[in-house]
A and B are shown apart, each in its own frame.
Chain A
Amino acid sequence: MFRLLPAALLLMLAIHSAQAQTDVEKRIQTQCILAEDGDIIEIPAGNFTISSTLSLDEKKNVTLRGAGQDKTVLSFKGQKQGAEGLKVTNSANIVLENFTIEDAKGDIIKTQNVNGIIFRDITARWTGKPDESNGSYALYPVQCQKVRIERCTAIGASDAGIYVGQSDSVWVTECTAKNNVAGIEIENTTNAWVWKNHAFENTGGILVFDLPDLPKKRGGHVKVYDNLVARNNYRNFAPKGNIVGTVPAGTGVMVLATNDVEVYNNKIWENKTVSTGIVSYYITETPINDKSYIPYPSDVSVHDNIYSDGRRMPTLSFKPSYRICIGENENGTFANLRADKLSLMSDHISRDKAPFNCNR
């Protein structure tokens, strides 16, 4: 029975091939539906216009592979159905690699509830000038475990280019994020390493956030190192209501309300507002109704970064008991702002670094 059904279905598809979807779109989607353990679904070279979300669900050990980022291009311009370009759900050990995917109405690639997901050599982008009408996330694993995003490029997201949400055990490496509101964002995620990436010309380069009201409550154990975070001065084009809409243009690295974050060995260059900010959720001026949410960051260490032509590194708003440490940073300057009061009067700004000594 298991073997018979796909055969029967393939026969049917031959009959229905004249339907309005393009043949390639239909073939890829059909292969995704019928894929069995260990299958590799090859997408040939070419520019393909896709009208509806492509999806994989309840699969194990399946690879979706293009002929190369410059050869296989899936365009969702004019998408009619579904909010995402590609969606992978309820699966294990999935590999997506070697293609370009662009202009989805919502998120470009969303993976949810996948244990073992690799994004490799993928370009995910909105073409044209970065704009409010672009979708939210280019690469968007959420509620996943064992996430690897490597050698990918994300461009033009009106929220975050690479956005890892409510996940665990995450690598983001050798990626480029450009012209997004947030280049790379790690949100309510535990055990994430973000290294050797280039985040440039976004509104904010690399963000590590914990937000209220989510099923996965607490992120943390995040390392951000060996990255180039440069010239993230792009105007904030996020639609209102979104948390990244509160990130000021000119932000290099920002840690918001997260626990146990280490930011080191990064080159943080020419970010005009705040090179590295460690901030509480209060800075968003959004009411907190989630009783179990902790709005303050804690156990945050910033050291051995190289700053150049930046401003105000880092920005703080906490008590010493939250264990924030500021180590040696080349060209680093410092200010501590009280954001949990209504005003930013001068008496709420301190330049005293002593409470944040790493050797305490």
Chain B
Amino acid sequence: MNAGSHFRLFTAGIAIISLVTGLSFNFSEDIAPKMHLSDYRFFTGNLSDLKPADGVFEYEVNAPLFTDYAEKQRFIYLPPGTSVTYTGQGAFEFPAGSAIIKNFYYFNDAVSRGKGKKMAETRLLLRENNGWKALTYIWNSTQTDADLEVAGAVFPVEWKNRDGKQMHIDYVVPNTNQCKGCHSYDGKFVPVGVNAAQLNRNNQLQLWAGLGKLSQFPDQADIPALFDYTTVGDPGHADAALLEKGARAYLEGNCAHCHNPHGPASTSGMFLEAAQNDRERLGVMKPPVAAGRGSGDRRYGIVPGKPNESILLYRIESTDPGVRMPELGRQLVHNEGVALIKFWIKSM
């Protein structure tokens, strides 16, 4: 018997069960992976303008991941009549056939944004009936479309940063396996950042609930919210409480997808979730386990009051592939993030 007839039998079985039990099955079709970003029709008009088509809407997060100063625009696609299901903890549940779309680009001049931008890559997470699939698309030189690439790639990118400095890096597109270097919970592929604490900003969730895009959204309950660490301002002038809020949100957004008991960095015993209450788990006076030369001759993850004796700071200040954290997606130092963590440790 071939696979097709199996499938027909299976769907027939489902139909019969539905009739008998009166249950309705949501049997959304998976989105088939496509060769070009344009093939999905997520955007209308000029593709690089990222004007969302029907069923696609933009979203923002509170504590974004730093990836070499790339700008990001994030979207969600939901099939007609479906919604995302709210949960207070962990990633929201997405319906089969939906997609999360994240675009990475650089303004040619970060001060004069009118001077245009260069699209670098677009990452898709496709929600299939039996799990998530990650696909990466690289923009072509004429910026008209982006092409599927599973094995990763490296290409040069240049831009002028906010200080007017000319920047250039070899931009690295992760391969499919590297995607899971971050998107992993107990070894299974999961989205990062589409959770209540990250998305609860500017009444975004209330809006979605009102539009019927978010189900089981609690009316009165306390919705968790991560602090937007970019609002700390100059960390040298922030008080300890503000630094704590900002730094913990920064660590959540940049580290905790691996550094949690179910993530790839569970081996380290250092857990950096914003909700982590055990100071030693967070790294305070905790000796490293397998840091190797990543320790930088320092003895503990965090030494209160002493950022320059803390391994955590050493690793986020490094650009050496064998030392730097996060391991993937960062070649440049995130100066603002480093300053925040430095003053936070100092304030302890």
Interface set of A (CB-CB < 8 Å, partner B): 1, 5, 8-9, 12-13, 15-16, 19-21, 26, 29-30, 32-34, 51-53, 55-58, 79-83, 87, 89-90, 104-107, 112-113, 132-137, 140, 142-143, 158-159, 163, 165-166, 211, 213-215, 238-243, 286-287, 289-290
Residue-by-residue, is B222-255 near A (CB-CB < 8 Å gives 1, otherwise 0)? 0000000000000000000000000000000000
Question: Is residue B317 contacting chain A, with contact meaning CB distance below 8 A?
Answer: no
Bound complex: CA A80 to CA B293 (Å):
17
* Chain A neighbourhood of B150, CB < 8 A: 9, 12-13, 30, 33-34
Bound complex: CA A50 to CA B323 (Å):
18
User: Which of B149, B178, B292, B311 has a CB less than 8 Å from the CB of A12?
Assistant: B149
Closest to A140 in B: B290
Q: A1-B32, A81-B172, A82-B178 are in contact. Are A166 and B267 (CB under 8 A)?
A: yes
Question: Is residue B280 contacting chain A, with contact meaning CB distance below 8 A?
Answer: yes
Q: Are the CB atoms of B266 and A143 closer together than 8 Å?
A: yes
Closest to B287 in A: A286
List, sorted by A's number, 24 A–B pairs whose CB atoms are closer than 8 Å: A5-B33, A16-B138, A16-B153, A30-B150, A52-B152, A55-B175, A56-B177, A57-B180, A58-B180, A81-B321, A83-B327, A105-B321, A107-B292, A134-B293, A136-B294, A142-B290, A211-B289, A214-B289, A215-B267, A239-B293, A241-B287, A241-B297, A242-B291, A243-B287
Interface set of B (CB-CB < 8 Å, partner A): 32-33, 35, 138, 147-155, 170, 172, 175-178, 180-181, 184, 187, 261, 264, 266-267, 269, 280, 285-300, 311, 320-323, 327-328, 331
Q: Are the CB atoms of A135 and B187 closer together than 8 Å?
A: no
* Chain A neighbourhood of B294, CB < 8 A: 106, 136, 239
* Chain B neighbourhood of A243, CB < 8 A: 287, 289
* Chain B neighbourhood of A9, CB < 8 A: 148, 150
Q: Are the CB atoms of A12 and B180 closer together than 8 Å?
A: no
* Chain B neighbourhood of A211, CB < 8 A: 289
Bound complex: CA A204 to CA B87 (Å):
50
Closest CB of chain B to A53's CB: distance in Å?
7
Bound complex: CA A220 to CA B59 (Å):
50
Q: A29-B152, A165-B267 are in contact. Are A106 and B297 (CB under 8 A)?
A: no
Q: Are the CB atoms of B295 and A8 closer together than 8 Å?
A: no
Q: Are the CB atoms of B151 and A26 closer together than 8 Å?
A: yes
Q: Are the CB atoms of B264 and A20 closer together than 8 Å?
A: no
Q: Are the CB atoms of A135 and B177 closer together than 8 Å?
A: no
Q: Are the CB atoms of A55 and B320 closer together than 8 Å?
A: no
Bound complex: CA A191 to CA B170 (Å):
45
Closest to A136 in B: B292
Q: Are the CB atoms of A135 and B293 closer together than 8 Å?
A: yes
* Chain A neighbourhood of B32, CB < 8 A: 1
* Chain A neighbourhood of B287, CB < 8 A: 213, 241, 243, 286
Bound complex: CA A30 to CA B181 (Å):
16
Q: Are the CB atoms of A16 and B322 closer together than 8 Å?
A: no
* Chain B neighbourhood of A51, CB < 8 A: 154
Q: Are the CB atoms of A143 and B267 closer together than 8 Å?
A: yes
Q: Are the CB atoms of A55 and B177 closer together than 8 Å?
A: yes
* Chain A neighbourhood of B177, CB < 8 A: 29, 32-33, 55-57, 87, 89
Q: A33-B176, A241-B299 are in contact. Are A20 and B153 (CB under 8 A)?
A: yes
Bound complex: CA A301 to CA B267 (Å):
29
Q: Are the CB atoms of B297 and A240 closer together than 8 Å?
A: yes
Closest CB of chain A to B267's CB: distance in Å?
5
Bound complex: CA A2 to CA B298 (Å):
49
Q: A29-B175, A33-B150 are in contact. Are A239 and B297 (CB under 8 A)?
A: yes
Closest CB of chain B to A37's CB: distance in Å?
16
* Chain A neighbourhood of B187, CB < 8 A: 58, 89-90, 113
Q: Are the CB atoms of A82 and B327 closer together than 8 Å?
A: yes
A33-B150, A81-B154, A240-B298 known; 14 other A-B pairs, CB under 8 Å? A1-B32, A82-B178, A89-B184, A105-B321, A106-B321, A106-B323, A112-B264, A140-B290, A143-B266, A163-B290, A165-B267, A215-B269, A242-B291, A289-B280
Q: Are the CB atoms of B147 and A158 closer together than 8 Å?
A: no
Bound complex: CA A240 to CA B33 (Å):
48
Bound complex: CA A32 to CA B178 (Å):
12
* Chain A neighbourhood of B151, CB < 8 A: 13, 16, 21, 26, 29-30, 33
Could you say which of B33, B180, B288, B290 has the most chain A C-beta atoms within 10 Å of its C-beta? B290
Closest to A211 in B: B289
Q: Are the CB atoms of B267 and A135 closer together than 8 Å?
A: no
Q: A29-B152, A82-B321, A143-B267 are in contact. Are A159 and B176 (CB under 8 A)?
A: no
Closest CB of chain A to B98's CB: distance in Å?
18
Could you say which of B152, B266, B280 has the most chain A C-beta atoms within 10 Å of its C-beta? B152
User: Which of B261, B285, B291, B298 has a CB less than 8 Å from the CB of A136?
Assistant: B291
Bound complex: CA A89 to CA B267 (Å):
13
Q: Are the CB atoms of A80 and B172 closer together than 8 Å?
A: yes
Bound complex: CA A87 to CA B180 (Å):
12
* Chain B neighbourhood of A112, CB < 8 A: 264, 267
Q: Are the CB atoms of A132 and B266 closer together than 8 Å?
A: no
Closest to B187 in A: A90
Closest CB of chain A to B333's CB: distance in Å?
16
Q: Are the CB atoms of A104 and B322 closer together than 8 Å?
A: yes
Closest to A16 in B: B149
Q: Are the CB atoms of A105 and B292 closer together than 8 Å?
A: no
Could you say which of B153, B178, B180, B261 has the most chain A C-beta atoms within 10 Å of its C-beta? B178
* Chain B neighbourhood of A215, CB < 8 A: 261, 266-267, 269
Bound complex: CA A137 to CA B289 (Å):
12
Q: Are the CB atoms of B267 and A213 closer together than 8 Å?
A: no
Bound complex: CA A142 to CA B264 (Å):
11
* Chain A neighbourhood of B292, CB < 8 A: 106-107, 135-137, 158-159, 238-239, 242
* Chain B neighbourhood of A30, CB < 8 A: 150-151
Q: Are the CB atoms of B328 and A81 closer together than 8 Å?
A: yes
Q: Are the CB atoms of B296 and A239 closer together than 8 Å?
A: yes
* Chain A neighbourhood of B331, CB < 8 A: 80
Bound complex: CA A159 to CA B322 (Å):
13
Closest CB of chain B to A50's CB: distance in Å?
12
* Chain B neighbourhood of A140, CB < 8 A: 290
* Chain B neighbourhood of A82, CB < 8 A: 178, 321, 327-328
Q: A239-B295, A242-B292 are in contact. Are A53 and B178 (CB under 8 A)?
A: yes
Closest to A19 in B: B153
